[in-house]
Chains A and B, each alone.
Chain A
Amino acid sequence: DAKTTQPTSMDCAEGRAANLPCNHSTISGNEYVYWYRQIHSQGPQYIIHGLKNNETNEMASLIITEDRKSSTLILPHATLRDTAVYYCIVRGAAGNKLTFGGGTRVLVKP
């Protein structure tokens, strides 16, 4: 599975959009991009995934560049409850495991 690179931490103002970048320059054609988040002391929670096209659900939007070497998770209106560590994961559809890196620690401030 391709390796991902994320900033260690970032702050965001409550009510504003939070844009979380992820680099995955070695991604191969059949690998998906997944985002999970982990709120303090809890188990990780699935957010969204995508292959090529941009994706949106009730939690977030995922923007994948045309060359697929990077992506951005967008939390449209960040709330204090969005404070968490966000993990960007690249994985082939046939794989069974998720490889969690260090993630980005997001602090939403009032």
Chain B
Amino acid sequence: NAGVTQTPKFQVLKTGQSMTLQCAQDMNHEYMSWYRQDPGMGLRLIHYSVGAGITDQGEVPNGYNVSRSTTEDFPLRLLSAAPSQTSVYFCASRPAGDRVKNEQFFGPGTRLTVL
């Protein structure tokens, strides 16, 4: 299994541009989520999904959209990039039946810079 993959690895945007960060997993995990990590800080939850067609907001959802049309993919869209969105973005997944252990598998991250 490839696990959780994210593309691109690095991205530079100008203020106001939009883009989509891709996340895919091949473990048939129902639960997927997006986090951002600012320098020297812990991760903060942006959005999550408990299955195809179901999404919900985390603690920092403003400026981001998500959709979940398939089990495998969970893209994160930046509507109009702002310098405050400069961060490292991590995607994670776990099986639905694993709620107690909650072993989330994280991707390698996308490093985004907004100028």
Contacts and interface: CB of A to CB of B under 8 A. Distances in A.
Contacts, number: 58
Nearest to A36: B104
Counting chain B residues whose Cβ lies within 8 A of the other chain, the interface size class is 20 to 34
Contact of A44 (B43, B50, B101): B43
B99 A97 contact: no
Interface stretch (A20-28, A71-79, A98-106): A98-106
A32 B4 CA distance: 25
A43 interface: yes
Contacts of A45: 106
Contacts of B56: 96
A44 B106 contact: yes
Interface string B39-63: 0011111001010000010110000
Which secondary structure characterizes the binding site on chain A? Answer: loop
Contact of B45 (A43, A49, A98, A101): A98
Interface in A16-66: 32, 34, 41-46, 49
Interface of B: 4, 31, 33, 35, 41-45, 48, 50, 56, 58-59, 90, 92, 99-109
11 contacts: A32-B100, A42-B106, A43-B109, A44-B90, A44-B104, A46-B102, A46-B104, A49-B102, A96-B33, A97-B45, A100-B42
